[in-house]
Amino acid sequence: MTDKTLFQRIADRDIPADILYEDDDCVAFRDIAPKAPVHVLIVPRDPIPSLDHLTEAHESLVGHLFTVARQVAASEGLSRGYRAVFNCGEEGGQEVPHLHLHLLGGRQMGWPPG
């Protein structure tokens, strides 16, 4: 058996986090190193390593992550806009090998990112 990812440990409540939302499929919690006034990570409970590991079987789950992002954005008062981002791989900025959606808001986002 492999070790749990950091995000699995948070979802299992082995590590404390400021959890804003959870259900049977995912958990949403504040990032400990925020890049915006609101920076929430939405993480599936299934330890999918990255976008590159998604299959057609994950379509519903990925859609659910975006629906949760919309709900959390509303509860966080992000009525003027927000950004939802997946990073994939080292050069894409992914630091934890567990698929996660970044919800960022509370300030003007720049373009292009990165």
Active site residues: 100
Phi then psi dihedrals of residue 46, to 5 deg: -70, 125
Work out the number of other CB atoms within 10 angstroms of the CB of residue 72.
22
Q: Report d(CA 45, CA 90) in Å as an integer.
A: 22
Environment class of residue 59 by beta-carbon count within 10 Å: exposed (0-12), middle (13-18) or buried (19+)?
A: exposed
Q: How far is CA 47 from the centre of its chain?
A: 12
3: its two tokens = 């070790």
